[in-house]
A = this chain, B = another copy of it.
């Protein structure tokens, strides 16, 4: 019984140590999480427009496709790296699926971010030129999104 109590005490100690962020820090972390999820939503919305054209759910139109592609590049260009705060992974914070590994693999994350940027710039060049080039570019964007999600987002 005493042994169990000691184990329980140790376990609680770990939990409490993990929970030492101040209310102010928690607020900043939650604001950052909300902001990066908003970035993801804006990617999703514009990819949704292109995806609907690719699947024929809506007619391809060059102006709309170009606008969506321009938006993707603009969202990617926002200077919002600060939303990836330390201690804002899904082990340390609530309301996120970002794995701690994202903070532990800087060079791989940077390489995947570069792939994403390149696939979006290629989409921006292709989107207004026709449905087929847009579809091909969309495949590459999907791959670069998926590579990062697979490695660094909780399924």
Chain A residues with CB under 8 Å of chain B are 31-32, 34-35, 37-39, 41-42, 45-46, 48-49, 67-68, 70-71, 74-75, 77-80, 82-83
Contact = CB atoms under 8 A, between A and B. Distances in A.
A34 B39 contact: no
A79 B49 CA distance: 12
A70 B79 contact: yes
Contacts of A35: 41-42, 45
A79 B35 CA distance: 19
Given A71-B78, A78-B75, A45 B41 contact: no
Contacts of A42: 35, 38-39, 42, 78, 80
A71 B79 contact: yes
11 contacts: A31-B48, A32-B45, A34-B41, A35-B42, A38-B38, A38-B41, A45-B80, A49-B82, A70-B79, A71-B79, A74-B78
